A and B are shown apart, each in its own frame.
Chain A
């Protein structure tokens, strides 16, 4: 079972790019997206589109990754459209909620901003194998070791969480299918019954996942896992001029946008 948004192996410049640059790039881009106004945001959209095209990822895949968030996107749009102040559009002045041209613009802008953030993150996860992502994260978190933080264990926890997410989704699908196969239909139930079945559903999933976690931990122990430092087969390229220039570029860009948005 494939779950949307997780790594898809392919070969493209974006796939080959140093994971540290990609990680820093996404963080930088997210900051930029949050600072930009409506018009410059369109440029970010275009840039993201260009990146999607050159990475060879299908638009459908991006759409699938956005699908579960559709509810939030619509919610963000509606909240901003109706809560922004402005002159009501003709013909809507009698309504209880304000509905203005400015509000509509605000709604589109904020939801677009959200979509851009998600697409940037999805591009990272689609083109970077988790092991490389973990290696990049380790690289940036390494200084925290000086503060005696258990960086190795923290990173391993993130890795396991990434691994268990699809397990959780798979478990949910399995139980749903098992229920459907026995003629279960939520639409036929009343609200209190729905809530009750939902609770048993959640309990069942948690039960199964705990069991899976138990098995997984036995398998990890059998393969000699012990909390603490581990090595990795991923070797990041040594830091070269290109790496420093790209990292500096990202930093400058963020700094530049910050300057403009605060003083411009």
Chain B
């Protein structure tokens, strides 16, 4: 598999944190197209975070290769280009915010790219507007709520105008309203053809993606659309994963003799199924 443009490729990637330790990633081969919305799920410690850190050249494969739009992450000369292509929203916004005020932090990336002041300012304004926190521009980071801090972290990545963004559990510790806002932003970015790699433990969130990849113990164990993945109930349960509530409900209904389909991950589809069954009676 050669380097390909317009997509991220992982070619038989192995990674070890310690030379004599276990493989945190073993033989991951994966292609992520630009504009795709991919959810990465799996139990704790299965290698999800390790995997996305490879996309940004924060970690380099012990074996195998990672290329971003044809650029090999092991090539030190391409580091800046790779990190401009792939943005990374870390799990904890507290430890990725560098600036003291919102606009200062969002400007951090473009400042590192040595862009002229006027362009940085424009990018900061655009990024803040995109996540809907333009009003917070001058605020001190310490005065923000957890959800707002997460928005700042996302804006900071957007200001670098990446083609792909990796989110590491973007809705962890957030209240439902803030979670919904983050997911809505992710959808909007995806609609603008930004590739999304989205780590989550929330199956309902994963069900919104166009594709799901399941990792277990550093290996790629399932790869497919949400209905495909969530029909592999036994396999998912074996590695400690659950179904989205909607799918779970359809399975329970079916097991009690209701003639409904089980490859359903969205609330709307479930309602349609139940309605059509009710009307057929």
A binding-site residues for B, Cβ under 8 Å:
1-3, 6-9, 129-131, 160, 162-163, 166-167, 212, 215-216, 218-226, 229-235
Chain B nearest CB: distance from A184 CB in Å? 24
| A129 x B101 contact (CB < 8 A) | yes
Within 8 A of A (CB), among B97-138: 98-101, 103-104, 107-118, 120-121, 124, 138
- Given known A8-B140, A232-B117, contact A215–B90 (CB-CB < 8 A): yes
Check A215–B117 contact: CB distance below 8 A. Answer: no
B104, A131: Cβ atoms closer than 8 Å: yes
Number of A-B residue pairs with CB-CB distance less than 8 Å in the complex they form: 112
Q: What's the least CB distance linking B122 to chain A, in Å? A: 9
Q: How far is the CA of A218 from the CA of B92 in the complex (A)?
A: 12
B111 x A230 contact (CB < 8 A) = yes
User: Is there an interface contact between B95 and A232, defined as CB atoms closer than 8 Å?
Assistant: no
CB distance from A143 to the nearest CB of B (A): 21
Given A1, A160, A162, A232, which contacts B111 in the complex, CB threshold below 8 Å? A232
- Chain B residues with a Cβ under 8 A of chain A: 53, 56, 58, 80, 83-84, 87-88, 90, 92, 94-96, 98-101, 103-104, 107-118, 120-121, 124, 138-140, 142-143, 156-157, 160
In whole angstroms, what is the CA distance A223 to B159 when docked?
Answer: 10
Q: Note all chain B residues with C-beta closer than 8 A to A221.
A: 58, 83
Shortest distance from the beta carbon of B20 to any chain A beta carbon, whole Å = 22
- Contact A212–B142 (Cβ < 8 Å): no
Which B residues touch A216, using CB under 8 A?
95-96, 98
Query: B101, A229: Cβ atoms under 8 Å?
Result: no
Tell me which residues across on chain A come within 8 A of B104, comparing CB atoms. 129-131, 233
Given A7-B101, A131-B100, A233-B121: A219 in contact with B142 (beta carbons within 8 A): no
Other-chain contact of A2, B80, B124, B143 (Cβ < 8 Å) = B143
Q: Given A1-B142, A2-B143, A235-B117: A219 and B90 within 8 A (CB)?
A: yes
Residues in B with CB closer than 8 Å to A222 are 56, 58, 83, 87-88, 90, 96
The residue of chain B having its C-beta at the shortest distance from the C-beta of A211 within the complex is: B95
Contact pick for A219, options B98, B115, B120, B124, CB 8 Å: B98
| Shortest CB distance A15–B (Å) | 10
Contacts of A223 in B (CB 8 A): 83, 98, 108-109, 112, 156-157, 160
User: In the bound complex, how far is the Cα of B139 from the Cα of A2, in angstroms?
Assistant: 11
A226 and B112 in contact (CB under 8 A), knowing A218-B58, A233-B121?
yes
How far is B4's CA from A118's CA once the two chains are assembled, in angstroms? Answer: 59
Q: Which of A3, A166, A212, A233 is B117 in contact with, Cβ under 8 Å?
A: A233
Q: State which of B90, B92, B111, B140 has its C-beta within 8 Å of the C-beta of A7.
A: B140
- When distances are taken between beta carbons in the complex, the residues of chain A under 8 Å from B100 are 6-7, 129-131, 162-163
| CB atoms of B116 and A231 under 8 A apart | yes
- Could you tell me the distance in whole angstroms from the C-beta of B236 to the nearest C-beta in chain A? 31
Closest B residue to A1 by CB, please name it.
B142
Closest 7 CB pairs of A and B: A219-B96, A215-B95, A233-B120, A233-B107, A223-B109, A130-B100, A224-B112
CB distance from A175 to the nearest CB of B (A): 15
- B159 nearest in chain A by CB position: A223
Distance to closest chain A CB from B70 (angstroms):
19
List residues of chain B with CB within 8 A of the CB of A130.
99-101, 104
Besides A9-B101, A226-B80, 4 other CB < 8 A contacts? A6-B142, A220-B98, A229-B114, A233-B111
Do the beta carbons of B140 and A224 come within 8 Å of each other? no
Specify which chain B residues have a CB less than 8 angstroms from the CB of A212 in the assembled complex: 94-95
